[in-house]
Amino acid sequence: MENKKCVMLQIIYLLGFSVMFYLSVAVAAETDEDKSSMQTYIVWVKRPVQNLFFAKSHEDLESWYQTFLPDTIANSNELTKPRMVHTYRNVATGFAAKLTPEEVKAMEQKEGFVSAHPERILPLHTTHSPNFLGLQQGLGVWKGANYGEGVIIGVLDTGIGPDHPSFSDEGVPPPPAKWKGKCDFNGTVCNNKLIGARNFQSGKTTGGPPVDDEGHGTHTSSTAAGNFVKGANAFGMANGTAAGMAPYAHLAMYKICSEDGCTEGDIVAALDTAVEDGVDVLSLSLGGPSFPFYEDGIAVGAFGAIQKGIFVSCSAGNSGPSYESLSNEAPWILTVGGSTIDRSIRATALLGDHGEFDGVSLFQPKDFNSALLPLVYPGANGNPSSALCSPGSLENLEGKIVVCEGGRGRVAKGEEVKRAGGAAMILVNQAIDGYSVLADAHVLPATHVSYQAGLNIKAFINSTSTPTATILFKGTVIGDPLAPKVASFSSRGPSIRSPGILKPDIIGPGVSILAAWPVSVDNGTEGKATFNMVSGTSMSCPHLSGIAALLKSSHPDWSPAAIKSAIMTTAEVENLAGSAIVDQTLFPADIFALGAGHVNPSKANDPGLIYDIQPEDYIPYLCGLNYTDEQIQVITQQTVNCSQVGAVPEAQLNYPTFSIKTGSSETQTQYYTRTVTNVGPANSTYELALVVPPKVGMSVNPQVLTFTEVNQKITYHVEFNAHDDAGKDGVPFAEGYLRWVSDKHSVTTRIAILILKAI
């Protein structure tokens, strides 16, 4: 009994904000003594050996899976059915079923069993408030590559608001003949834009069409592939023409999440179906903490997808700025971090001493006259919950402008201030979030300012007996020269499960993104063209999914790894002002925040060279992670023998970046190769430009690459030598790059050096 409790606590801890959902499941289950410990397990089994009598038809797989269920229930169809939640046949070999720990134990004895783990519930990757602010993306719509025509993007999310004008099919041709998907909406709701819509939520008894009750899925879908909509805005802000990254691509929604999270078994089921339906790109703005890839439903399902040539883009997570905080680390996935765009929805705090501090707010009331109001900091009483303006912590603030400390529930803080009679709110960042601010749909006049501004405002309050302040609403301001900036929330590397692969891969817009929303968030908006601004790596991921669709449209023969390479080797590490991209501190962001850098779609469309990887190339890499043959088979669904294939170090995978671990005192030499494929002009000559990371020596051979044919491959060698003093100064990592430059192209491989035993 004691043991069981521990397991439960650990799961709840790992689930983070999905706690409520999990608890309700647990409570419901407890009503029946026998079923109290029953939960959904993901069970991986061996692929049945193919022979004349055991073809791989779906029915045969199903009956194979049934043999793993406990004998007592296997005999009774009626009881068996509800136990089996999902059966997988494309991207994974196994199933999801409701089982007790005892039943799982019994199953372990069966021939063909590989592993089982309780299904996890993964959060969506918006920052934690339900009212994230977003930023309109629609400006400067990317017009390359046929607007993504002919490409199908599958989005796994909370459903979709199908009649939104962003999903109009004006200008969108019918789907390609290979499309086999279904639309579970009534009659004519689906069209040439929204070509598929299905509901995979096993937790909900309703089934039914994949209606978006939350907003997240409508937002991410329209960011990836929304059609053009003029006059899109939220609260009148960020007004302009909205469009997704691939406005003429097709969309297929696979509903797997509610606002409480997304269950792993449903995610794998949706991936399994999407692959069979014929999608080209998969977009997943969700994820949990890092697990070994063979235990991670998204990693396993994504491998099945790339085996079929399908590109998989996932959000990096919102657990920044701490290091080692990533989700979705597998090297066959594009892992996308979040950054700002050059627009702010400005609201300036003006103090009684004329000090001004720029901040942001989506809600900008026209009837606020910006007269100076008495300024108070409830946290001055020493009570942390008053400082945070937590629910129930405030009273008697009639007519005042109130300073609240930031953190989770930004909009809720404003609700508390309003409840206590406050006239306005200045939301100040905690130290860790620095200068990273988000434009939210506040319920009262408000502005979100930096940590530094907060210090100044609090010092001003201390300096006078009658502090006053107000807010000046300045609307939509475009042209921040420091954009893109890495958002504080964006999860950081190094990768926990595979530190020899640099992650995140790329950053893209994720702060204050304006995109479609199923319902009006603003009483002033009429009709169906409703938009909202939200923030998170959930918003960055579909930007990259849409850009991948554009590349797929202009280069139909490129593999998922080739598309990824094109995006990464052409990424920007400088901001609009031409200096290094900064993070929430306004100091240069490091390589574990940026990955390869910020996406540049037009450069990605013409990269010159690519670093390609075939699905089978991952096998020696997985052997090098010391996974067992059986564990690797869970991922690859084919027989693997590492002693025959051989293992390679992680950094030997033909990845478009390098992440090298090196010791501190001894000199270590490491050799790797990389193979580039010429996708530029047939006759091209590339010369080496090398910025050697501090702490190591490095050499590359040859230093000139001469191509005479398209698709010609050349392999080069790289040698790293750790300096004797590496790590002595306690600096745990270093960065540099290796670049191949021709007269038309510049192909950059960013290099991270992780110094072990530093300090």
Ligand X SMILES: *[C@@H]1O[C@H](CO)[C@@H](O)[C@H](O)[C@H]1NC(C)=O
Q: Which residues bind ligand X (CB under 6 A)?
A: 186, 231, 233, 236, 239, 455, 458-459, 462, 523, 625-626, 641, 643-644, 682-683, 708
For residue 512, the tally of other CB atoms under 10 A from its CB is 30
Residues in CB range of 360: below 8 A, 6 or more apart:
133, 344, 345, 346, 347, 437, 438, 439, 447, 448, 512
* Closest approach of ligand X to the CB of residue 216, in Å: 19
Q: Which of 164, 216, 543, 598 is the catalytic position? A: 216
Of 396 and 523, CB closest to ligand X: 523
How do 531-534 and 513-516 pair as beta strands?
Answer: antiparallel
* Closest approach of ligand X to the CB of residue 230, in Å: 7
Phi, psi of 447 (to 5 degrees): -145, 145
Angle at 733 between CA 727 and CA 734, to 5 degrees: 105
Q: Which two tokens stand for residue 70?
A: 């406990």
Distance CA 313, CA 491 (A): 15
Residues in CB range of 524: below 8 A, 6 or more apart:
235, 236
Is 216 part of the annotated catalytic residue set?
A: yes
Distance CA 135, CA 534 (A): 7
* Closest approach of ligand X to the CB of residue 83, in Å: 30
Distance CA 278, CA 269 (A): 15
Evaluated on CA atoms 328, 17, 21, 509, the torsion sign reads: negative
Sheet holding 94-99, edge to edge: 84-88, 94-99, 39-45, 113-118
Contact 507, 568 (CB under 8 A): no
Distance CA 269, CA 200 (A): 7
Q: In whole angstroms, how far apart are CA 35 and each of 19, 25, 72?
A: 20, 12, 14
Of 187 and 479, CB closest to ligand X: 187
Residues in CB range of 735: below 8 A, 6 or more apart:
590, 591, 693, 750, 751, 752, 753
Of 455 and 577, CB closest to ligand X: 455
* Closest approach of ligand X to the CB of residue 400, in Å: 18
Sheet holding 257-258, edge to edge: 121-122, 261-263, 257-258
How would you write 97-108 as a 3-class SS string?
A: EEECHHHHHHHC
* Closest approach of ligand X to the CB of residue 191, in Å: 14
Distance CA 372, CA 723 (A): 60
Is 71 part of the annotated catalytic residue set?
A: no
* Closest approach of ligand X to the CB of residue 496, in Å: 12
One DSSP character per residue, 123-155 reads: -BSS-SSTT--BEE--TT----GGGGTT-EEEE
Distance CA 727, CA 662 (A): 9
Amino acid at 225: A
Distance CA 229, CA 119 (A): 39
Is 157 part of the annotated catalytic residue set?
A: yes
Could you tell me how many residues make up the chain? 759
Q: Which of 18, 125, 157, 280 is the catalytic position? A: 157
Of 460 and 737, CB closest to ligand X: 460
Contact 337, 504 (CB under 8 A): yes
Q: Which of 386, 538, 540, 559 is the catalytic position? A: 538
* Closest approach of ligand X to the CB of residue 64, in Å: 21
Separate counts of helices (H) and strands (E) for the chain = 19, 35
Q: Which residues are catalytic?
A: 157, 216, 538
